Amino acid sequence: MPKKVDHAERRRLIADALMRVAAEQGLEAVSLRHVAAAADVSAGMVQHYFRTKDEMMTFALSVVQERSRDRAEKAVARLGEDPPPRELLRALVTALLPLDEPSRENGRVALAFLAYTAVHPQPALRAETEQMVGFIASLLGGRADDAAGLLALMEGLGLYVLGGQYTPEQALAALDSQLERLFSA
């Protein structure tokens, strides 16, 4: 009887390997050969699932987005039913900041992908960003500029934490300060 292959699991295995290579060596080190070695599979298997590096990168970006969404959803769910908007925003942003080692690894990969999307735009990423700004604006009484500013602050704080300019505590203090301003306005 032929062996059953879980194709989605294999694609995820390859995407995880790509993310490890990107986190440890930078996106420029990502190649079919390096990813295959990191996944402990043949280069032919990688090519079977992803014909090009761009296909592999696009899939891996979707995995990073999915993991970020999962972290955010779990953080918001812990707040229970109908949390106040400020608590909801803090939980959401805190879940997306690189405050511990697993989220820092994801953050390094996400940062590399953001650089990649500057050259290879991803329409889905733009749509997701617009959706996030809309959601944040709804919690801020429709203030879209403030929502965009909070999202930009989150990205900047993430960069500072990843680069070592801010500790996680400093990032959270800056976030709390901004939330205070937004909710006292």
Domains of the chain, CATH where assigned: 7-184 (1.10.357.10)
The pLDDT value recorded for residue 165 is 97
The pLDDT value recorded for residue 1 is 61
Digits of tens for pLDDT over the chain (185 positions)?
666 778 888 888 888 898 888 878 877 778 888 999 999 999 998 898 888 888 888 787 788 888 888 999 999 999 999 999 999 999 999 999 999 988 888 888 888 777 778 888 878 778 888 999 999 999 999 999 999 999 999 999 999 999 999 999 999 999 999 999 999 97
Distant-in-sequence, close-in-space partners of 34: CB < 8 Å, separation ≥ 6: 21, 25
* CA dihedral (174, 162, 151, 71) positive or negative: negative
Cβ-in-10-Å burial (0-12, 13-18, 19+) of 2 comes to exposed
Distant-in-sequence, close-in-space partners of 79: CB < 8 Å, separation ≥ 6: 87, 88, 91
Helix and strand tally (H, E) in the chain?
9, 0
The pLDDT value recorded for residue 181 is 96
Specify whether the CB–CB gap between 174 and 93 falls below 8 A: no
Specify whether the CB–CB gap between 159 and 93 falls below 8 A: no
